[in-house]
Amino acid sequence: MNSPDLAGIGMTSQRTRERLIERLREQGIDDFAVLEVMRSTPRHLFLDEAMAHRAYEDTALPIGYQQTLSQPYVVARMTSLLLAGGSLERVLEVGSGSGYQTAILAQLVGQVYAVERIKPLLEASRKRLRRLKLRNVRLRHGDGMLGWPEEGPFDGVLCAAAPEQVPEALLAQLAPGGRLVLPVGGGLQHLKVITRDGDDFRSETFDAVRFVPLRPGVQR
Ligand code: SAH
């Protein structure tokens, strides 16, 4: 990536990015592959120009339509939890928003199937992913609460919006041994990892988090 806007300058420079990676490491992110991919992926390209100078702060940032680009720590944490069971071939992402988490996943798994309910966000993310030449991604405008049944089952599912209860369809589309990582809760939310073992599901609870709600239906 050597065009100047991909490389970044000033507040989006490589040095600023290094500081973010250092911070993630200090906060306990120790998956080397995840850290390397986050180091080399230009988060500023996933934001409007007015927000781009804040891209390497460890904070969630607005992307319009009352949605946010997830905080880097949370992206790193969810990605690490998803990958902790071993390498993944087919991954479903629900609530792909800006496409930043999609870009990170695409560099770490075989194929990403991403569903977003807000059409303009989906179309903007499509352009960014193409620009970064990430071709192992399929994007769909739809209600991710329903998963993507035609493409399942999935080895991993990552959902970036919070339901009050885990959607049945996402469980149903997990392959044997597959893992679902998502925030769950109404007011107070926690990250959960749900692992499929035959017809049983094992649930583990991790960090307290704050995500936008998972909403049914689509928006044009
Ligand atoms: N990972 C994204 C997070 C965006 S915020 C990023 O970093 O940019 C969560 C996203 O989930 C929003 O874009 C919202 O529109 C989307 N979302 C909420 N409910 C959804 C649903 N049922 N299906 C698909 N996307 C949904």
Pocket test for ligand 1, best of 61, 94, 165 (most atoms within 8 A of CB): 94
Residue 186's Cβ-count burial label (10 Å; 0-12, 13-18, 19+) is: exposed
Pocket test for ligand 1, best of 51, 96, 181 (most atoms within 8 A of CB): 96
What architecture does CATH give domain 4-209?
A: 3-Layer(aba) Sandwich (3.40)
How far apart are the CA of 167 and the centre of ligand 1, in A? 15
Chain position carrying tokens 């940032």: 61
Where in the sequence numbering do the catalytic residues fall? 70
Which residues neighbour 123 within 8 Å (Cβ) at sequence distance 6 or greater?
Answer: none
Chain position carrying tokens 């809760």: 185
Q: Return the pLDDT at 79.
A: 98
How far apart are the CA of 121 and the centre of ligand 1, in A? 9
Q: Return the pLDDT at 59.
A: 96
**Boundaries of every domain in the chain:** 4-209
Q: How far apart are CA 167 and CA 201, in angstroms?
A: 13
pTM higher than 0.95: yes
Integer distance in angstroms from the first to the last C-alpha of the chain?
Answer: 33
Local mean pLDDT, 10-residue blocks, the chain (220 residues)? 69 87 98 97 95 95 96 98 96 98 98 98 98 98 98 98 98 98 96 96 97 95
Q: How far apart are CA 181 and CA 187, in angstroms?
A: 18
